[in-house]
Chains A and B, each alone.
Chain A
Amino acid sequence: MAQRSIREYEGKRIFHNDWRRHFGQFLYAFQAASVASGDELRALASGDTHDWLNQVPLVVKPDMVFGRRGLNGLVFHKINTPGDVTLDDAARWIDEKRAETTTLLSGQSGILSRFIVEPFLDHDSTTEYYIAAVMGDATDTLSMSVKGGIDIEENWDHVRQVEIPPTVTADELTAMIAAAVPDDVADRDRFTLFATDFYRFFRDQHFTYLEINPFCLDGDQVYLLDLVAKVDDTAGFLMDKRWGPLYFPTPFGMKAPGPEEKQIRTMDEKSGASLKLTILNPQGRVWTLVAGGGASVVYADTIADLIGVDELANYGEYSGNPTTRETRVYTETLLDLMTRNPDPQAREKLLIIGGAIANFTDVAKTFTGIIQALRQYRDKMKTIGVRLYVRRGGPNYEVGLRNMQKAGNELGLPIEVYGPETHMTDIVRLALSA
């Protein structure tokens, strides 16, 4: 993968973990609770670690990696006046939200299932600052403003930006940021120091996007009110300790991965090969079992192009020379989903076993795994009616294709097998015109 959104709670936890290393001149009290229900919140409050929940007014927000929570009316901080939310109120609000469908201004809708609860900060008297850093193609961009908060976009002309090249030295960095700090910042020195620390934190922790809007400076005390963050998950192996265990939530409103998708994901994480599976429409007629990250996209394109995206049941790929067992389990998972229900219009389902001409993946070996799975699901496939279309090239492809044809014949499954002389996506056309 690459850039992944993380929860606000996790972002703040990472700040907290490494605070002293990066923000030595400042203080940050990490007081936050991440809960899924009112009961969970009450349970935390009755323990030793989160006693503050009983003592201060609270603010509650959904923590599901979508922004504009203020504009969406999803920041619960008052009943009558700001700062009068008690533990019971917070727990009740969470349970209310959990019980209904929420639709955002962007149109995404779903159930809110994860919340962040923090002390309410009465910050009328202090300035709401804005700071954000993003990783670009050649430079990082640091943005700063004294007019942060919910209206940041309306006040975008107050935002000052600085482009920071990766080769920047420590001295240059401080000078660049100092020069870019907005004029209307009250305590420039302190702000510059914090912004510099913030940028280094962003860079060294492999964030690709990090925004705090707003934050407040009160002497040495820093208040991080609202945070949005994305990390580069390929840096996970370097950041093990600093990030701690990170969970990457499914975007709000998107169907959470099913058990089958999770199973493949787990297998993928443990394997040197690549195994991906996304179910787009379990009722779809056309299923794809395609080798290769590029080829799998081309097959999906072609299917959507020829009969529309609604008929496409899944997107997925296997590549990087998976073992026979891995391809078998992958195929079984797919066939299991495919053969659960017959086509609503009683048509035959189509299984596209496709792929480009492999560079080094052993076609015969991966096909052995697929054939084992076909044997296993023969009866189910016959019951609902499945036609198979195969196209592949690469190391040992003749043996692989021959075995596939033989297996189809033996199992009595209608199968058509093609090699590299047939254009890669032609089998989609053939399958759909049959």
Chain B
Amino acid sequence: MIINKQSAEAGTIDAAFAGGVLFRRDTQAIFWNNHQTAVQRMLDYDTLIGRDLPSVAAIVSATGSSRFGKFFFGSSEILIPIYKSSAEAVAEHTGADVLLNFASFRRAYRITDEALGIPGIRTIMITAEGIPERHARALKLRAGELGKLIIGPATVGAITPGAFKIANTGGTIENIIASKLHRAGSCGLVTRSGGLFNELAHTIALNADGISEGVAIGGDRFAASGFVEHLLRMQANPAVKYLLMLGEVGGSEEYRVIEAVRDGRLSKPVIGWCIGTIASHFSTGVQFGHAGASANDDAEMANTKNEAMRAAGIHVPRSFNDLPEIINGVHSELHAEGIIGDITEPVVTSLPEDCQTALDSGRVRKRTHFTCTISDDRGEEATYAGYPISAVATPDTGFGICDVITLLWFKRRYPKWATDFLETVIKTVADHGPAVSGAHNARVTARAGKDIISALVTGLLTIGPRFGGAIDGAARYFKLGADQNMAADEFIDHMSERGVLIPGIGHRIKSKKNPDLRVEGLKHYAETHFPATPLLDYALQVERRTTRKKDNLILNVDGVVGVLMVDMWHGLGYAEEEIDRFIDSGTLNAFFVLGRSIGFIGHILDEKRLGMPMYRHPFNDILYDVPLKRDEP
């Protein structure tokens, strides 16, 4: 279901807050920033109070690429359109007259200033904290000139219970119900702090009948709309029977309220308290609470303001801890006088629970589709086999690349003799020149203008039984021979009976007299550092027999790598079955793939660097044996 643009009865700005009501059941907002949790909370609130029309008409996201956001509205899903600018969104959704500005402090000023210039927008809420004061002041003054209302900056928002709530105001659905924010009560609540707004809404629900409307004006020095503006509006709203203002140390906003009480503009009972009495104990320097909460003189001290409020006939508790009592007192009195009636509690529409929430709380369980035993990306930092990346990444951690490979491939850190061996293997197999078939294919693909991934993959796809597969084979067959206690001669016979060339034996040029130095190096390393090399010894016995037949039937580099891998795993204490599983799953081949990728990438980059043209194989290098055929006429 796509929410159609809503053409609500467009009222004038004066009519907007007629009757002092901030929001109605058909109020719709444009949400600036794709803040999915907050949008969802608004829509959930809509469900809770039985709104038919989602309170969020559209989202503005200047950077995202999505054109719609998916959200729950009740138990079904809806699409909310996403626009690039507020102006676009307003043009498409003329019924939405509230802009919820969730831009960061860097952009909030510009977004708000722009929105003030859009005729359809009447109310703007700014959540960002730390907007430059000069900018905040400019917004306040301009909004005043235009007759528009800005709530914030640095606020959680406002709510008209039973009609509309801004973003995270009121917190979770459970808290909203517990605080009776799903239906109108009789108190008009204005605070600076968002956290305390929530707290007081709850207190008022416990000690009276809840709130009729509430606004958190925000903690910065320049709240674009202040206590007195909101309280006067609530004075005009017949549904509000008494008022509660929670002020703070610093600023002189509360004195404007006192003035309004004294001159009769505020005639409903007012409960007031200024927090920050602590500040009077400290002469200088300690910043208590919000940016706006810093007293410049005695008059701005919380105690002084509390005294002044008391003197003006405002109900002021002895301390914050005594607030519930005062609230209860004022409410009971108004109730006894018949000014406040009884409220029939509405039936609460139960909200389907999110799968994730239910999971988190342990109320439901869910089967998983995948299992992972090597790394974990759920925490603040991903781990490799339990080690945070930062604990293995930099040189000072003492972890090398082969430590990371063994963590991710074998789930444990191998000792240095083993990781040094693995590094030797990778270095040894990294590249065997441009002519081998894998490298050739990679280069041809690169020259066809393909990207690095396509070219690399072309090279890798060449690896198989004929190209690069000998390591696997050597390990498999030599291990088979050794496991079955075949003597070297027996093994050679066994292989030739099956018509299989022994993988890892034989070299094009190298021979017994002209040994392969890479092989000699690996052998020497293993003899010096491995605890034991039984399979190498076995392979060398085989080599002694094969070289008798022909001088170049030596144990080659694939062969020595294959058998030493097996010796390494023996040395590390793996059981035979585990080693067989390594071989079967292609682990040895994986070292070849990894190492040779280095060479392939080198060749691909080389081709790109040289800017070689597309390769076409010459005719004269192909034997064409295709007889001509002619159709008889």
Contacts and interface: CB of A to CB of B under 8 A. Distances in A.
B199 A280 contact: no
A295 B105 contact: no
Task: Please give me the 3 A-B residue pairs with the lowest Cβ-Cβ distance, nearest first.
Answer: A294-B193, A292-B195, A356-B199
B281 A309 contact: yes
A349 interface: no
Contacts of A251: 284-285
Contact of B141 (A167, A206, A297): A167
A25 to B, nearest CB: 25
Interface of A: 1-3, 108, 135, 137-138, 165-167, 203, 206, 208, 232, 234-235, 237-238, 250-251, 253-254, 276, 278, 280, 291-298, 300-302, 304-305, 309, 312, 315, 317, 319, 323-325, 355-360, 393-396, 398-399, 420-421, 423-426, 428-429
B319 A305 contact: yes
7 contacts: A237-B106, A254-B284, A297-B278, A359-B195, A395-B172, A420-B175, A426-B321
A2 B294 contact: yes
A302 B320 contact: yes
Contact of B196 (A235, A298, A305, A396): A298
A429 B322 CA distance: 12
A333 B357 CA distance: 32
Contacts of A305: 277, 319, 321
A253 B202 CA distance: 42
Given A1-B291, A305-B277, A393-B175, A355 B195 contact: yes
A228 B418 CA distance: 67
B552 interface: no
A123 to B, nearest CB: 33
B291 A297 contact: no
Nearest to B133: A232
B303 to A, nearest CB: 10
A94 to B, nearest CB: 25
Nearest to A319: B195
Contact of A293 (B195, B281, B285): B195
Contacts of B291: 1-2, 234
B171 A359 contact: yes
B149 interface: no
A293 B106 contact: no
A324 B105 contact: no
Given A203-B134, A292-B193, A359 B141 contact: no
A429 B321 contact: yes
B191 interface: yes
Contacts of A167: 141
B199 A424 contact: yes
A365 B277 CA distance: 31
A398 B363 CA distance: 13
A345 to B, nearest CB: 21
A356 B195 contact: yes
Interface string B290-333: 11111000000010000000000000000111001000000000
A428 B275 CA distance: 16
Given A2-B221, A297-B275, A357 B171 contact: yes
Given A297-B278, A301-B278, A278 B195 contact: no
Interface in B223-258: 246, 248-249
A359 B290 contact: no
A2 to B, nearest CB: 4
A302 B278 CA distance: 8
Interface in B249-297: 249, 275-278, 281-282, 284-294
B504 to A, nearest CB: 50
Contacts of A315: 278, 286, 288
Interface of B: 37-38, 105-106, 130-135, 137-138, 141, 156, 168-172, 175, 178-179, 191-196, 198-199, 202-203, 206, 219-222, 246, 248-249, 275-278, 281-282, 284-294, 302, 319-321, 324, 360-361, 380
Nearest to A272: B104
Contact of B289 (A280, A293, A393, A426): A293
A324 B288 contact: no
A359 B216 CA distance: 12
Given A294-B275, A420-B202, A238 B132 contact: yes
Contact of A294 (B133, B178, B219, B281): B219
Given A319-B195, A360-B168, A425-B320, A298 B137 contact: no
Contacts of B106: 237
Contacts of A165: 141
Contacts of B206: 421
Contact of A234 (B131, B219, B293): B131
B132 A206 contact: yes
B175 A166 contact: no
Contacts of A301: 275-278, 302, 319-320
A305 B287 CA distance: 18
Contact of A358 (B191, B198, B321, B360): B198
B133 A234 contact: yes
A429 B320 CA distance: 12
Contacts of A357: 171, 175, 179, 195, 198-199, 202
Contact of A304 (B196, B281, B287): B281
Nearest to A419: B178
B567 to A, nearest CB: 43
Given A254-B284, A294-B290, A325-B380, A359 B194 contact: yes
B171 A358 contact: yes
B26 to A, nearest CB: 25
Nearest to B194: A359
A234 B153 CA distance: 13
A302 B321 contact: yes
Contacts of A325: 380
A347 to B, nearest CB: 21
Given A295-B199, A357-B199, A206 B134 contact: yes
B196 A292 contact: yes
Nearest to A357: B198
A423 B324 contact: yes
A360 B198 contact: no
B133 A208 contact: yes
B108 to A, nearest CB: 11
Contact of B193 (A254, A295, A429): A295
B353 to A, nearest CB: 13
A167 B140 CA distance: 12
A296 B286 CA distance: 13
A203 B138 CA distance: 12
Interface centre among B169, B194, B320 (most CB of A within 10 A): B320
B286 A280 contact: yes
A293 B278 contact: no
Nearest to B281: A309
A138 B141 CA distance: 7
A291 B293 CA distance: 17
B446 to A, nearest CB: 43
Given A294-B191, A305-B319, A423 B203 contact: yes
Given A302-B319, A302-B321, A304-B277, A291 B195 contact: yes
Contacts of B285: 250-251, 254
Given A2-B221, A237-B105, A305-B277, A137 B137 contact: yes
A162 B71 CA distance: 54
B132 A232 contact: yes
Given A302-B319, A355-B195, A394 B281 contact: no
Contacts of B221: 2-3
A294 to B, nearest CB: 3
Nearest to A296: B289
Contact of A394 (B138, B175, B284): B175
Contacts of A166: 134, 137-138, 141
Contacts of A319: 195
Given A232-B134, A234-B130, A297-B289, A359 B219 contact: no
B288 A297 contact: yes
Given A250-B285, A293-B290, A300-B288, 10 more contacts: A2-B133, A165-B141, A232-B134, A234-B105, A291-B195, A295-B196, A297-B275, A297-B278, A360-B171, A393-B171
